[in-house]
């Protein structure tokens, strides 16, 4: 089984993702970047950050040890969002960035995300090279050739400055609630929104190492919904553990998912002449309602595999300016080289102020098709495409739904499960078809 998934390495900390594994990954990554450097006299540098999980502490120690033992100078930036690491790598011209985070996963998990020079995520080929080099014999540097460790006390301020540079419409008069998931956005997100001019009520912004994503954040929106209604706020935004996602709640308590946000921003980008090639990039999980909304707005849509890295690859290859996922990853290439939940929230809130419309009014341009997603666990996801019975069942379901529905089965890139997604003209029909397919997947692929 491949070590890297669609978003780096992820697993149960100290069992799947151990200190030894983290050290080996760091050493192998250091070797790859040193060998690929055009300046052999240059001592490479890396930026290392983490979310608020307690396990990030020992993993950071292992990664820093691996990098410095391989001759890389390390700048530790502490608890910051994943997109902050990407930005800081690009800004400082570092050779490598490493973020220790399992994003929206529960606290016991953790992960390692790697960024190349320029702040982009590593492509599949480089990840494969790193994996192949792990555990090899190597000549260790000594003396002045070993790496050094520096604590970068200015990193958060520099990232905050980058965020605020995206604001050309002050958020004065806007009252918002932000759910920080007790994660990496707990310190910078409320400050960014306040400095942008909004009245900010922050919730779940007191991380203690154990409470990240614990019944809060972008995967548990009920807490944000209650706070928005209680406080009489104009809207609320929720981030995941590493703050590369943003979902929202309008003043009436309605959920505004990534497809809604992408619809609002795509129309805004088009109106302001920022939508290159009149095209937005989505994924195969984008809701049919999003597709219809883009068709109505006469905006073209390109779809990729699930994963913001694949969205970004397509955007770079074709020079598109806007793309994203239903989960709340939104990439705006005029502002950043990766998905950034705080940047997304700032752009969404600016659109509310800029248009004078409520978030609810802006979101009605997309009518979401009922969608049911079932995660089928404890199955051999690698055999999904080998089952003729599943393929036949999917074809029959697609024929039944016709143009008013859709079926998607895919193996998760980060967890050992198969996702069954069905969209239909009604909730009951979507649930019925999804349940039948999920039962079949369970019986066909049980381990």
Residues with a catalytic annotation lie at: 103
Q: For residue 367, give every residue at least 6 positions away whose Cβ sits within 8 Å of its Cβ, in sequence order, or none.
A: 289, 292, 293
Q: Is 277 left (phi over 0), alpha (psi -120 to 50) or beta?
A: left
Q: Tokens in use for 254?
A: 């309605």
Q: Note whether 181 and 223 are within 8 A (CB).
A: no
List phi, psi (to 5°) of 36.
Answer: -90, -5
Q: What is the distance between the alpha carbons of residues 245 and 238, in angstroms, rounded to a whole number? A: 8
Q: What is the distance between the alpha carbons of residues 149 and 46, in angstroms, rounded to a whole number? A: 10
Do the bridges between strand 247-250 and strand 235-238 make them parallel or antiparallel, or are there none, so unpaired? antiparallel
- Element holding 124 (H helix, E strand): helix 124-133
Task: Give me the long-range contacts of 408-411 (CB less than 8 A, separation at least 24).
Answer: 408/284, 408/285, 409/384, 409/437, 409/441, 410/284, 410/306, 410/384, 411/381, 411/382, 411/384
H helix and E strand count, the chain: 14, 18
Q: What is the distance between the alpha carbons of residues 303 and 325, in angstroms, rounded to a whole number? A: 10
Q: Note whether 244 and 115 are within 8 A (CB).
A: no
């Amino acid at each position: 089984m491949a070590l890297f998934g669609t978003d780096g390495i992820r697993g149960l900390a100290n069992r799947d993702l151990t200190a030894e594994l983290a050290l080996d990954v760091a050493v192998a990554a250091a070797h790859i970047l040193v060998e690929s450097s055009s300046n052999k006299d240059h001592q490479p540098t890396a930026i290392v950050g983490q979310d608020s999980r307690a396990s990030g502490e020992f993993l950071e120690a292992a990664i820093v040890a691996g990098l410095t033992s391989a001759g890389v100078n390390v700048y530790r930036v502490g608890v910051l969002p994943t997109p902050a690491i990407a930005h800081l790598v690009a800004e400082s011209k570092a050779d490598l960035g490493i973020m220790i985070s399992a994003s929206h996963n529960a606290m016991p998990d953790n992960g390692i995300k790697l960024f190349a020079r320029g702040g982009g995520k590593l492509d599949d080929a480089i990840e494969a090279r790193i994996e192949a080099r792990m555990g090899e014999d190597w000549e260790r540097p000594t003396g002045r050739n070993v790496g050094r460790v520096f604590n970068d006390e200015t990193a958060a301020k520099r990232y905050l400055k980058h965020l605020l540079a995206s604001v050309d419409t002050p958020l004065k008069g806007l009252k918002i609630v932000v759910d920080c998931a007790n994660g990496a956005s707990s310190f910078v997100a409320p400050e960014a929104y306040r400095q942008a001019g909004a009245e900010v009520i922050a919730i779940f912004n007191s991380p203690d190492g154990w409470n990240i994503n614990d019944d809060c954040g972008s995967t548990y929106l009920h807490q944000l919904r209650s706070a928005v209604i209680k406080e009489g706020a104009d809207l609320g935004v929720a981030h995941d553990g590493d703050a590369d996602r943003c979902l929202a709640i309008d003043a009436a308590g309605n959920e505004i998912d990534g497809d809604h946000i992408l619809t609002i921003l795509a129309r805004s980008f088009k109106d302001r002449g920022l939508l290159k090639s009149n095209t937005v990039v989505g994924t195969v999980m984008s809701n049919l309602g999003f597709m219809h909304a883009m068709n109505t707005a006469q905006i073209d849509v390109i779809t990729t595999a699930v994963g913001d890295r694949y969205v970004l690859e397509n955007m770079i290859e074709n020079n598109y300016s806007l793309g994203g996922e239903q989960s709340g990853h939104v990439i705006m290439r005029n502002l950043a080289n990766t998905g950034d939940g705080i940047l997304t929230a700032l752009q969404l809130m600016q659109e509310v102020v800029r248009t004078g419309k409520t978030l609810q009014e802006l979101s009605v341009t997309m009518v979401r098709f009922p969608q049911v997603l079932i995660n089928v666990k404890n199955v051999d996801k690698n055999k999904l495409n080998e089952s003729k019975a599943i393929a036949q069942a999917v074809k029959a379901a697609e024929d039944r739904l016709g143009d008013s529905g859709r079926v998607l089965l895919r193996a998760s890139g980060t967890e050992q499960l198969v996702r069954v997604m069905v969209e239909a003209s009604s909730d009951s029909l979507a649930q019925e078809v999804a349940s039948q397919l999920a039962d079949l997947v369970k019986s066909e692929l049980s381990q």
